[in-house]
Amino acid sequence: MNLQERQWVIGGIILLMSLIFIGRLFQLQLGPSSWKDYAARITEEREIIDPARGMILDRNGQVLLTNIPSYDLLFTPRQARLAGGLDTLALSQTIRLDSSKLIQALAKADAYASYRPSPILKQIPNEEYAQFSGELWRFPGVQSKRRSIRTNSGGHASHLLGEYRETDREDLDSGQGYHLGDYKGKSGLELQWEKRLRGKRGIKYHLVDVRNDYREPLSNGQFDSLPIHGEHVTTTLDLDLQAYGERLMENKRGAIVAMDPQTGEVLALVSAPSYSTDFLSGKNRGTHYAELLKDPAKPLFNRTMRATYRPGSIFKMIQGLIALDEGVISPNSRIFCNRDILGCHGSHSMDNLEEAIVHSCNPYFHEVMKRMVQPGDSETIFQDASDGLARWSPRIKQFGLGTDLGGHLSGLRSGSVPDTAIYNRMYGSKRWAYSTIYSISIGEGELLTTPVHMANLASIMANRGWFITPHTVLDIGGNGKPEALDSLVETGVTPSAFLPIIQAMQAVVESPQGTGTKARVPGITVCGKTGTVQDGDRETHAVFMAFAPKDNPRIALSVYVENAGSGGDWAAPIASLMIEQYLKGSIAQTEKEQLILQATYPFPEH
C-alpha cells in the first residue's frame, strides 16, 4: 500500500471515530439515557437540616432543658490548596486553639476527605464564636455550621435529665439512622425519650460544580423536605421544690425524693452533690468529665435511684403491718424490751405497737419477726425458718422493695429483699435459723433499698395500702402521659392495719418522746419515721420518711443525709422544710432553714 492509500485509510478511520463520537454526544444530549442521569447525579449534594430538639419542662411549664446555638468549624482541604494554602498560625490565634491541636485536626480532616468539610472544632458557644466569626473569610477552606446544644440554665435535676452528646460507634451501628457527628441522648430522660425528643431531619438537595461550590437547588427544591420539631416532654417535677431541695443539700451527701402519693408523680429528685448538665457540653466536655469522675464526693452518681442503703428503723413499720395483717400481733400487744437479745435506747420497757414505733424499739420487732418467720410449725428450727422466710419475702416485695417499682424510672436499682435461696447460698441448706438472720428484723443485714423505694413506702402509708407506680413524665407532645404509667399496686394489707401505724407516725413527730420532732411544720399534721442506718466504721446515715398532711396527703418523701448521725437531727428538719415549701409556697421556719443551710459534710456533733 502506497503513501496516498495509507492516508485515505487513516483519514477514513478518523472520520468514522468522529461520527461515532458525535452520535454519542447527540444521544447523551437529546435522548433518554442512564448515562445522562448518572452525569446529573454526580453533581448533586444534599444538606441535612437538623430539627430543633424538644424541650424538657417542669409540671408548671417552667423550662428545665432547652436549646441554644453553638457553632462547629469545618475545613475542606481541597479548597485551601486551590487558594494557595492556609495560614495555620493566624487561624490558631484567631480561634484561640493551640497550634499543635489545630494542625492535628487539619491533618485528620485531610485524611478523612479532601473535598468534603470535616469538623476541626466543635460546639463553640455563641458568644465566643461572635468574637472571631468576622475573620473567617481570611482562611480558605474554613467555614462554620450552626448547631444547637442543650442548656440547663438553672443547673437543676441534672441526674434525671441526663446527658446529650456526640454519637459513638455503638450508636452508628445501631441501625437507628445516626451518622458520624450526630448528637443524641446518652442517659436519663434524654436517652429514655430520645425518639420523641429528636424529631425528624429535613433534607435540601442542590447542585455543585467540580470545586464543590454551590450552584442551584435541584429541580427547584421539589425533592426537599422540612425538619419536624422534636416533641416537648413535660415532667412531673416541681422546679421550685427541686431547686429548694438542691439548695438544702448543698455541701452535703445524700438524697431527697418527693412524690405525690395519690398519683405516683415524682415532685423532686435531689442527689447531692450534683452538677450542671451544661458542664458536660461544649468543647471542654472531656476535661470537665474527668474532673467530675475524680471527685471523691461522686457528683456523677445518682444517689436517688442508684445508691442502695439499708432501710434501718423505717422497716419496722412494714414488719408491724404484716404482723397485724396475719394476726401475729394486735395493736395492743406488748413485748418486753429485752436488751440482752438486741441493743436499744430510751427508758421504755414494755411497749405496745404504737409505742414501739415511737421509741423505735429493736427487741420488739425482733420478736415480731421471729413470730412470723419461726413460728414452730416444723420439726426443726432450720426448716421452720426456711418455710417462714419463704412466706415473708413475697409480702415484703408487695411494698415495692426488691423490685423496679414498675420500671418507669430508668436506672432505678431494685435493691434486695433476702429470701431462702440467698441464705442457702450463704450458709448452706438447713444450716441457718432465725438467730442467724435476725438483723433484717430491724432493717439491717441483707436488706437494701434506694431513696426512691423509701419515698414510695411513704406513699403507701399515706394511701393506707396501695401505690401508683412512680414516674417522672406528665405529658409528651401535648398527648398526655405515655401508656401504663398510672398502674395501681396493692400491698395486700387490709387498710385497717394502717391506722395504728399512722397514729404512731404522727406521734413520732408530735410526741415529746418522738424521735422526729424536728419534722414538725406549723399548721400541718406530719406523719413520719426516723431511721439511723449503719455505714461500716463511719458515722451512721441520717434517714427520715414522711407524708403530709395526715388526711388527704399531698406529699410523701424520703431524706437521706450520709454520715450525719441521727435521722431526727438532720434528715427530719430537711423533710420539714421541703413539706412547708411545697404545701405553703414559702418558709416561715427561718432558723431551722439557716441551720440546715450552714451544715456541711462532715457533720458536727448535734
Spatial distance between the Cα atoms of 345 and 206, rounded to a whole number of angstroms: 80
- Asked if pLDDT for residue 36 goes beyond 70, the answer is no
Tell me which of 235, 265, 294 is where a domain ends: 235
- Is residue 289 included in any domain, yes or no? no
pLDDT (tens digit per residue) in 328-346:
999 999 999 999 999 998 8
Rounded Cα distance between 531 and 318, Å, is: 13
Question: If 0-12 CB within 10 Å is exposed, 13-18 middle and 19+ buried, where does residue 289 land?
Answer: middle
DSSP conformation letters of 446-496? T-BB-HHHHHHHHHHHHHTSEEEPPB-EEEETTS-SPTTTT-EEE----GG
CATH code for the domain of 149: 3.90.1310.10
Would you say 192 and 170 are in contact if contact means Cβ atoms under 8 Å apart?
no
Confidence of residue 40 (pLDDT cuts 50, 70, 90): very low
Here the cell at position 455 is 419515698
Integer Cα distance of 584 and 37 in angstroms: 71
Distance CA 14, CA 12 (A): 5
The predicted pLDDT at position 216 comes to 65
Do residues 128 and 216 share a domain? yes
Determine the Cα–Cα distance for residues 185 and 188; give it in Å rounded to an integer: 8
* pLDDT band, very low/low/confident/very high, at 251 (cuts 50, 70, 90): very high
Regarding whether 133 and 105 lie in a shared domain, the answer is yes
272 shares a domain with 224: no
Confirm whether 196 is domain-assigned: yes
* pLDDT at 223 exceeding the cut of 60: yes
Where in the sequence is the domain holding 211, given as residue range(s)?
46-235
**Whole-number Å distance between alpha carbons of 601 and 543:** 15
Q: State the cell numbers at 335.
A: 413485748
pLDDT of res. 38: 45
Residue 387 to residue 102: CA distance in whole angstroms: 70
- If one compares 281 and 326, the residue with the highest pLDDT of the two is 326
> Residue 12 domain-assigned?
no
420 lies in the same domain as 442: yes
Q: How many domains does the structure of the chain reveal?
A: 2
Residue 174 lies in a domain: yes
Q: What is the pTM of this model?
A: 0.87
- Same domain (yes/no): 254, 314: yes
Between residues 96 and 206, the one the model is more confident about:
96
Give the per-residue pLDDT at 31: 56
Is 92 part of any domain? yes
Output the nine-digit C-alpha cell for 152. 440547663
Question: Of 9-18, 46-55, 242-251, which range is least confident?
Answer: 9-18
- Lowest mean per-residue pLDDT among 181-185, 187-191, 545-549: 181-185
Burial class of residue 381 (count of CB atoms within 10 Å of its CB; 0-12, 13-18, 19+): middle
Q: Which residues contact 432 (CB under 8 A, 6 or more apart)?
A: 382, 385, 423, 424, 426
Give the pLDDT band of residue 536 (cuts 50, 70, 90). confident
Considering 235, 251, 274, which residue would you say is the last residue of a domain?
235
Q: Where are the beta strands (DSSP E) in 488-548?
A: 488-490, 527-535, 538-548
Question: Does the residue 159 lie in any domain?
Answer: yes
Instruction: Answer yes or no: do 194 and 246 share one domain.
Output: no
Q: Do residues 229 and 365 share a domain?
A: no
Average the pLDDT over each of 99-113, 288-302, 471-485, 586-600 and give the range with the smallest value: 99-113
One-letter identity of residue 488: L
CA distance 119 to 108: 9
CA-wise closest residue to 197 among 188, 205, 206, 209: 188
Grid coordinates representing 24? 454519542
What pLDDT sits at residue 6? Answer: 67
pLDDT tens per residue, range 195-204: 999 999 888 8
What pLDDT score does 454 carry?
98
**Residue pLDDT, tens place only, 484-496:** 899 999 999 999 9
CATH number of the domain to which 264 belongs = 3.40.710.10
Asked whether residue 247 falls in the same domain as residue 209, the answer is no
pLDDT at 445 over 60: yes
Span 133-147, average pLDDT: 89
Q: Is 138 part of any domain?
A: yes
Does 591 lie in the same domain as 528?
yes
| 474 in the same domain as 420 | yes
Could you tell me if residue 15 is inside a domain?
Answer: no
**Does residue 41 have a pLDDT over 50?**
no
E-assigned strands of 281-440?
335-336, 350-351
Same domain, 224 and 252: no
What number is the average pLDDT over the span 339-360?
91
For residues 580 and 527, give the distance between their C-alpha atoms in angstroms, rounded to a whole number: 14
Q: Identify whether residues 137 and 179 lie together within a single domain.
A: yes
Q: Burial letters for 502-526: b for 16+ Cβ neighbours within 10 Å, e otherwise?
A: bbbbbbbbbbeebbbbbbbbeebeb
